[in-house]
Amino acid sequence: MSAVLASHVDEHRAFDVSSQAIWSLGLREGRRMLLSPAVLVILGWSVLMTGIDSALNLSTASLPTRGGVYEGLSWLVALYAGLIFYIACHLVASSARRTKAEGQFAASPMSPRMRSAGLCVGVLVGPGLLAATVMVVLALLGSDSTYSYGDVTPMSVAELAQIALTVVGAGMFAVMCATWLRFPGSLPLGLVVLVFGTILMSDAERAPINTWPWFAPYITAPDWSDEVWALMGSQTWHAVYLAGLCALGFCAVMLREREGRLRWLAISAGVLAATAAAGALQL
Amino acid sequence: MTSAAVVNDVRRRYGRTQALDGASFEIGTGVTGLLGPNGAGKTTLLRILATVAAPDSGAVSVFGRDPAVARERVEIRRRLGYLPQDPGFQRGFSVFEFIDYVAILKEMTNRRERHDEVRRVIDAVDLASVSGKRVRALSGGMRRRTALAAALLRDPQFLVLDEPTAGLDPEQRLRFRDLVSRAGEGRAVLLSTHQTEDVAALCQDVVVLDKGRVLFHGAPAELTAVAADRVWVADERRGDAELVWRTGEGRFRHLGSPPNGADLVVPTLEDGYLMLVGRFDEEAAA
């Protein structure tokens, strides 16, 4: 009665299979995030409104200038892409819970932690890659000094990286909210924290002397000159600091499951120390 | 007999409800039916065997591995197919996309092989004509077959099916029987159902669960034998039977101690099951 229907499985091969599965899942989740109704509806709305606006001003309209494209793209991605992808990533990350599909998925070899890791990979290869691509386009557009950009000053590589990292950070924050706050309403709750936290830290009366805006949870856009920004500190270290926040978001997602939590606590402590150091160096 | 799963004195409580109360049995290759009234603990037991839930006490082993140990649990899951009682489907997924997603969760990383496997299971449950349609737009029976197809991915050695025939039409139930009987060749299938006809048609082994305890474990013929000489038909309803119902021919089928000269008939598995569950109630009351 003790004979068993089992076969030997090589441990190393099993680890490879798990890593590949996380990557495959990440590609799938990234695509879902990009094709989320939240993204399509908001982008569709923007295109529609722009079209209506152009049609109404047809007589005075002219072809968009290089500077106009640069400015429009940078504002769109810097201010709105993070918020749009926060919603998209949260919808994807919470879909199994909301649709009660978790019961089925729970019996699969991919543990909840691996599935969460797949979501984080999805944030990187979906919204993250898209934002990075747009930043490369902006870098190419801004690299030609023979063109006039009007009021727009082409951004440095560090500043462009910051914008892409803000999109990744918003996605990681969304996965973190969906993973930890497993109840209806966690999406708007996270959004409120993201937006109002930033508003609180960007208090115009206390700026520009204090440096709170550089620790805000989301991107700030106070009406400061480049000189004031320069006084705030290093753009490069700020980009590193934002990368640290993204990594911390990933660690928070990994800490959701009990098994192996001690190991992830140790890793999180290291990432936290590095992020704090970058936060101090940026000032 | 090779044992695929062993359940030993398993207990599980949800609040004040004792869902499982010392259940013990072993199942081997072939199809095993799990019968029991509502609230008997069938779904809880299947969830534990599918490694989705853990028992409060007692031991469970699947393929000789302990699901309480993370590494062994993964090994079990690599050989497992599970169809829950109420499968959920993510919004926006077509049949193909949903099954493909589950295939990724089952660690099928090669895209081409995965898609071939997805097409194979879709054909197996006869959903090829709707594979591009949104799952949530399909009928209940088709959704159930979609979930069944997902459970069949990677040809699992142990298939745990919680009421798989609920919502299926008669033709689909017959197709399902064919599918499960083939799946049971050399593998283990545990099938929870309220359809005793399915158990009679498919299962080599049957477990009856009631109030969290195993009431019966044996061959379907043995369960049928519980009602031997205790089923009879009469032209009118008799008060001395435990259960009476009017048949399609207009006669009354009685279960219980027959009176002298009763017109005894050959019992079915359902008769045996009803007698068993009814008797347990009497013992509990005593």
Q: What is the rounded distance in angstroms from the CA atom of residue B263 to the CA atom of residue B52?
A: 49
Chain B environment of A104 (Cβ under 8 Å): 82-84, 87-88, 102, 147, 150
Chain B environment of A102 (Cβ under 8 Å): 88
DSSP states of B122-142: HHHTT-GGGTTSBGGGS-HHH
B238: left (phi over 0), alpha (psi -120 to 50) or beta: beta
Across the interface, whether the CB atoms of B109 and A96 are under 8 A apart is answered no
Cα separation of the two ends of chain B: 37
Which token pair is B65? Answer: 């591995």
The string of pLDDT tens digits covering residues B74-84 is 999 999 999 99
Higher pLDDT, A216 or B12: B12
The string of pLDDT tens digits covering residues A45-101 is 877 877 787 777 766 656 667 777 787 788 888 888 899 999 999 999 999 999 999
DSSP reduced 3-state for B23? strand
User: Domains (ranges, CATH) in chain B?
Assistant: 3-79+156-219 (3.40.50.300), 91-145 (no CATH), 224-285 (no CATH)
Residue type, B227: A
pLDDT confidence band for A185 (50 / 70 / 90): very high
Task: Decide if B4 contacts B157 (C-beta within 8 A).
Answer: yes
pLDDT confidence band for B146 (50 / 70 / 90): very high
What is chain A's mean pLDDT, rounded?
83
Q: Is the pLDDT of residue A138 over 50?
A: yes
Q: What percent of chain A has pLDDT over 90?
A: 49
Per-residue pLDDT averaged across B16-37, rounded? Answer: 94
Chain A environment of B190 (Cβ under 8 Å): none
Task: Provide the whole-model pTM.
Answer: 0.87
Decide if B121 touches A, using CB distance below 8 A.
no
Taking residue A280's Cβ as centre, other Cβ atoms within 10 Å add up to 11
The string of pLDDT tens digits covering residues A139-173 is 888 877 666 555 567 888 888 999 999 999 999 99
User: How much is the pLDDT for B283?
Assistant: 47
Domain range list for chain A: 2-56+67-281
Query: Is the omega angle on the peptide bond into residue A208 within 30 degrees of 0, that is, cis?
Result: yes
Task: Decide if B63 contacts A5 (C-beta within 8 A).
Answer: yes
Residues 45-104 of B with CB under 8 A from A: 47, 50-52, 63-65, 70, 74-75, 77-80, 82-84, 86-92, 101-102, 104
B51: left (phi over 0), alpha (psi -120 to 50) or beta: left
Chain A environment of B63 (Cβ under 8 Å): 4-6
User: How much is the pLDDT for B284?
Assistant: 42
Decide if A148 touches B, using CB distance below 8 A.
no
Residue type, A249: G
Q: What is the rounded distance in angstroms from the CA atom of residue A117 to the CA atom of residue A64?
A: 41
Burial class (CB in 10 A: 0-12, 13-18, 19+), A269: exposed
Chain A environment of B106 (Cβ under 8 Å): 108-110
ipTM over 0.90: no
pLDDT confidence band for B91 (50 / 70 / 90): confident
Task: Decide if A83 contacts A217 (C-beta within 8 A).
Answer: no
Across the interface, whether the CB atoms of B80 and A107 are under 8 A apart is answered yes
The string of pLDDT tens digits covering residues B216-268 is 999 999 999 988 888 988 888 877 778 888 888 888 888 887 877 778 889 99
Across the interface, whether the CB atoms of A9 and B92 are under 8 A apart is answered no
Give strand pairing partners of B21.
B11
Which stretch of DSSP H or E encloses residue A240?
A: helix A235-254
Task: Decide if B67 contacts B60 (C-beta within 8 A).
Answer: yes
Which stretch of DSSP H or E encloses residue B6?
A: strand B3-14
Give strand pairing partners of B252.
B234, B246
Q: Is the pLDDT of residue B71 over 70?
A: yes
Task: Decide if B73 contacts B51 (C-beta within 8 A).
Answer: yes
